[in-house]
Amino acid sequence: MGASLSNLTDNGVTMGPGLGDIPESCVACVFMYLTPPEICNLARLNRAFRGAASSDPVWENKLPSNYQDLLDLMPPERYQNSSKKDIFALLSRPVPFDDGNKEVWLDRVTGRVCMSISARAMAITGIEDRRYWNWIPTEESRFQVVAYLQQIWWFEVDGVVKFPFPPDIYTLSFRLHLGKFAKRLGRRVSNFEHTHGWDIKPVKLELSTSDGQHASSECCLDETEQDDINGNHKRGCWIDYKVGEFVVSDSEPATEVRFSMKQIDCTHSKGGLCVDSVFIIPSNMELKQTAMTEKASSLGLIPAMDRNNNYGSHQDKKKRLTCDQLDSLERSFQEEIKLDPDRKMKLSRDLGLQPRQIAVWFQNRRARWKAKQLELLYDSLKQEFDLVSREKQKLEDEVMKLKSILREQATRKQVSTGYTEISGEETVESTSIAIRSSNNPLGSLNHHHHHQHHSQIGDQGNYLFNVEEYNNPAASSAIWGHVLPSNYP
């Protein structure tokens, strides 16, 4: 396509050589000095550029000198028979190691080695005690989980990594978050219930290497001063706290890096902190990207950017509001949350602000007010739900108790009915025996003779007449004469 475009004719006159006429080897030499994204973009021009963009010498130049050490962290079947371009694409994605608690990858722009270490790979004081620490699953972490500190007095986090870093200057930093974050009603919210103690004393960050390098820094993770609109800008967001830098001159032997974060002043407690990971990245990687951007802007390729990566001039940077301006805006918002054009212009004149600033402040304040109302509504509904759940549980418990009482009453009734029937039968039989005994003239004579026999029969509950008495006609006549009435036929 490039060759055909470069050979277009105008009025039958052949034009000069174009991009399609450049040898592929020359294009490959040029690609040596370009970044991988630039190479991929230029590969779409023509066949020669596409061929040069796929050559191994070009991509081997983008790989670190010890890229084989990175490949050894993954199964061989994943990279066997792969081109250098495919290997670069494979290593530009995170490669986990150490049971998945550490990741290493190549920067897509510079091809330099970066590393991330999970909080699970660190030694954290009290991490096993649920009263102090908890593990929170989240999608905001590369490792899908962060360590959340509720409250502790002795705060200490230590870690170590041994890896054959290629020669470079590296920066180590902790990734931390003040407050416990979650999603509620589709919105990300932060809870600062346990956040305290980080503005009293600074946290000490340290690192040391196996070749004797040391670096340290101190910083307060929280601040007492509030920002103009967003409040405390250190809360509710992930912040990378730089520990220091170390230099690697050779990848062999492997460099061991030890790092720590401490706040061991036990005069006050600390809490409400999320510890995600530790990052080790080349020091001037971001500076190099900024320099490339400034060079491109000087050539007029992209708009100019300030030091905060905001497009436009320095006059367009956000102006901080004073306390008096904030108080006036807050009072106006409490009077009416909606901002009409007349009130906006009046506030702009009174406070010396641009109308756009007034509108943006009201928009952000209204959004926070709505979010707060949703949170209050959610809390109210949750309390009502919990109350209904408790009442339901109480009713279920009462129903179970009533069922148990009914079963006990039914069981006692059955036992009482059976006992009454048995007692009635025994009473009737006992009464008959008593009558016969009182009317029997031979009872006293035969009492001693048959005492043992009657005792045994009585013990068995079987009231029968003596066999001899039954077979003796005289005794039988005497007995029946007293028992039966005189007029019995």
Half-sphere exposure in the Cβ direction for 350 (13 Å, CA): 14
Q: How confident is the model at residue 450 (pLDDT cuts 50, 70, 90)?
A: very low
- Residue 124 is predicted with a pLDDT of 94
Of 256, 252, 281, which is closest to residue 169 (Cα–Cα)?
281
Does any domain span residue 80? Answer: no
- Cis amide prior to 489 (ω within 30 degrees): no
Both 271 and 349 in one domain: the answer is: no
Q: Give the SS3 label for residue 261.
A: strand
Pairing of strands 203-209, 214-219: antiparallel
Residues 6 or more apart in contact with residue 163 via CB below 8 angstroms: 104, 115, 254, 255, 257
Helix axis angle for 341-351 and 323-335, nearest 10°, is: 160
Of 284 and 96, more confident: 96
Quick check: 310 pLDDT over 70? no
Q: Cα-Cα-Cα-Cα dihedral of 120, 121, 123, 127, to 10°?
A: 10
- Residue 400 is predicted with a pLDDT of 92
Both 37 and 101 in one domain: the answer is: no
Q: How confident is the model at residue 2 (pLDDT cuts 50, 70, 90)?
A: very low
Provide the residue type at 7 as one letter: N
CA 445, CA 466: separation in Å to the nearest integer? 13
- Residue 289 is predicted with a pLDDT of 46
- Residue 421 is predicted with a pLDDT of 55
Both 235 and 161 in one domain: the answer is: yes
Quote the DSSP letter at residue 339.
-
CATH number at residue 231: 2.60.120.260
Of 65, 108, 112, 114, which is closest to residue 85 (Cα–Cα)?
108
Both 169 and 270 in one domain: the answer is: yes
Of 297 and 393, more confident: 393
CATH number at residue 381: 1.10.10.60
Of 290, 286, 373, which is closest to residue 337 (Cα–Cα)?
373
Does any domain span residue 413? Answer: no
Residues 6 or more apart in contact with residue 323 via CB below 8 angstroms: none
Both 282 and 329 in one domain: the answer is: no
The answer to whether 133 touches 273, Cβ cutoff 8 Å, is no
Does any domain span residue 392? Answer: yes
**298, 315, 343: which is the final residue of a domain?**
298
Tens digit of each residue's pLDDT (9 = 90 or more) over 11-70: 444 566 777 778 888 888 888 889 999 999 988 888 888 888 888 899 998 999 889 999
Both 127 and 237 in one domain: the answer is: yes
Tens digit of each residue's pLDDT (9 = 90 or more) over 229-284: 444 567 889 999 999 999 998 888 899 999 999 998 888 889 999 999 999 999 88
Does any domain span residue 329? Answer: yes
- Residue 232 is predicted with a pLDDT of 55
**380, 399, 418: which is the final residue of a domain?**
399
Both 255 and 146 in one domain: the answer is: yes
**399, 424, 456: which is the final residue of a domain?**
399
Does any domain span residue 19? Answer: yes
Both 331 and 285 in one domain: the answer is: no
Does any domain span residue 410? Answer: no
Residues 6 or more apart in contact with residue 83 via CB below 8 angstroms: 54, 56, 59
Does any domain span residue 175? Answer: yes
Both 228 and 270 in one domain: the answer is: yes
Both 386 and 456 in one domain: the answer is: no
Number of domains in the chain: 4
- Residue 365 is predicted with a pLDDT of 82
Both 214 and 357 in one domain: the answer is: no
The mean pLDDT of the chain is 78
- Residue 255 is predicted with a pLDDT of 92
Tens digit of each residue's pLDDT (9 = 90 or more) over 345-375: 888 888 888 888 888 888 888 888 887 888 8
Residues 6 or more apart in contact with residue 207 via CB below 8 angstroms: 172, 214, 215, 216, 243, 244, 246, 257, 258, 259, 260
Tens digit of each residue's pLDDT (9 = 90 or more) over 52-67: 888 889 999 899 988 9
Q: Give the SS3 label for residue 126.
A: coil
CATH number at residue 30: 1.20.1280
By residue range, what is the domain housing residue 450?
439-489
Helix axis angle for 355-438 and 473-483, nearest 10°, is: 120
Tokens 């630039």 identify what position? 38
Residues 6 or more apart in contact with residue 42 via CB below 8 angstroms: 31, 34, 49, 53
Does any domain span residue 404? Answer: no
Both 142 and 237 in one domain: the answer is: yes
pTM: 0.56
